[in-house]
Amino acid sequence: MDKLHKWLGVPGFTYEQDQDAIHKMFNELFPDFEKNSGWTMMGDYEALNDHVRGQLNTFFKPFNEFLFELVGDREKFSWDVDGNKLDRY
């Protein structure tokens, strides 16, 4: 969460609940979420392959450009994972 706080530019915060507690609370509020959506809140996922990532970058490019114009800060909202820039603009 520290990395997210830093990326958002907000002060750090210590959450009282751990991931298991959050997952439990989510399941209590939305008991059929995973069954109905096919998504899981916790799990292991395969890395996105480069071809699919390229297609997604192409599709979302105009929307990302609009976001950059709205917020006036391309650097803050350029997506990255572990310090590796994902945008290809």
Q: Which amino acid is at 55?
A: Q
Work out the mean pLDDT of the chain and round it to a whole number.
78
Nearest to 76 by CA among 4, 8, 11: 8
CB 13 within 8 A of CB 4: no
Model pLDDT for residues 31-47, shown as the tens digit of each residue:
898 888 888 776 777 88
CA distance 70 to 73: 8
Q: What is the pTM of this model?
A: 0.44
Which residues, other chains included, contact 4 with Cβ-Cβ below 8 Å and sequence gap of 6+?
A: none
